[in-house]
Amino acid sequence: MELIVYIRCFKGIVLREALRFVHQKERFFSALVRPLVWLGIFAAGFRSVLGVAIIPPYETYIPYEVYIAPGLIAMIQLFNGMQSSLSMVYDREMGSMKTMLVSPIPRWFLLISKLLAGVFVSILQVYAFLIIASFWDIIPPISGYFTILPALIISGLMLGSLGMFLSSAIKQLENFAGVMNFVIFPMFFASSALYPLWKIEETSEWLYYVCFYNPFTYAVESIRFSLYSQINIEYTIGILVFTFIFLFLSILGYDPARGNLQKKGGK
């Protein structure tokens, strides 16, 4: 199959996702309000309780709002990834997923295109958040606005592919609500999004290991370092490994020969 066919297909899938995004303005605003509530209320209340020592990539003492900003950016992507997969469960229940899957273009390409389309939407949300966050004095170096982009693409892919894998494994929309509770909240709270890992280690060693091996921590820390135009090799390798694993599982989940679709009788 010619390259141009793949390009047209990719363009079409991204365009559809963008159109859906434009048509669903509430989704955009709720995606923005969520981190802003954390920033404006939670962070304001906790800044006096929690002191954050100087840790890389920061070179000085920072207010709590600045510390949790990368975690909130990752939260936007986490919710977006789960929402995309929620729409996949909906699409599958409603049947529109089938129209994509019966395309002659290889399924792995269709799924990755759909993932990237979701990542594109999440990046728009993140930049909108960064603009508003500047009113809270969360202002990274100018270069940070550019260097964050690769980290956003990878973390978006990782969280999106995790959502896609879950969507392939879930039978019905109703079951998805439960998974959201069991995935989103534990991932978010047991990570370095709200408190640094060393602080968790002081409190509980086992919780520290849970947080340390939580893929979401790798997304948060990659974003944190890239926002200050730095790279942390350990977290970068970690996030790439997790992305690869989740991507592999999600493609497997939608593979007609081995996947979850036919085990469920197509429901």
Closest by CA position to 167, among listed 114, 222, 203, 221: 114
Give the interface size with other proteins as a residue count (CB under 8 A): 36
Q: Does 173 bind other proteins (CB under 8 A)?
A: no
Q: Does 30 bind other proteins (CB under 8 A)?
A: no
Token pair in block for residue 47: 């800044």
Interface residue with other proteins among 25, 26, 54, 266 (CB under 8 A) is 266
Q: Does 99 bind other proteins (CB under 8 A)?
A: yes
The piece of 60-68, 105-113, 144-152, 171-179 that touches other proteins (CB under 8 A) is: 105-113
Distance of alpha carbon 88 from the chain centroid: 16
Collect contacts of 60-68 with beta carbons under 8 A, ≥24 apart. 63/137, 65/39, 65/136, 65/137, 65/138, 66/137, 66/138, 67/196, 68/38, 68/39, 68/42, 68/43, 68/193, 68/194
The piece of 8-16, 31-39, 128-136, 161-169 that touches other proteins (CB under 8 A) is: 8-16
Token pair in block for residue 19: 């159109």
The residues in 59-98 that bind other proteins, with binding defined as CB under 8 A, are 94-96, 98
The piece of 19-27, 37-45, 77-85, 196-204 that touches other proteins (CB under 8 A) is: 19-27
Q: Which residues contact 47 (CB under 8 A, 6 or more apart)?
A: 63, 64, 65
Q: Nearest approach, Cβ of 101 to other proteins (angstroms)? A: 6
Token pair in block for residue 60: 């000085």
Tell me which residues touch other proteins (CB under 8 A).
1-2, 4-6, 8-9, 11-13, 15-16, 19-20, 23-24, 94-96, 98-106, 110, 256-257, 261-263, 265-266
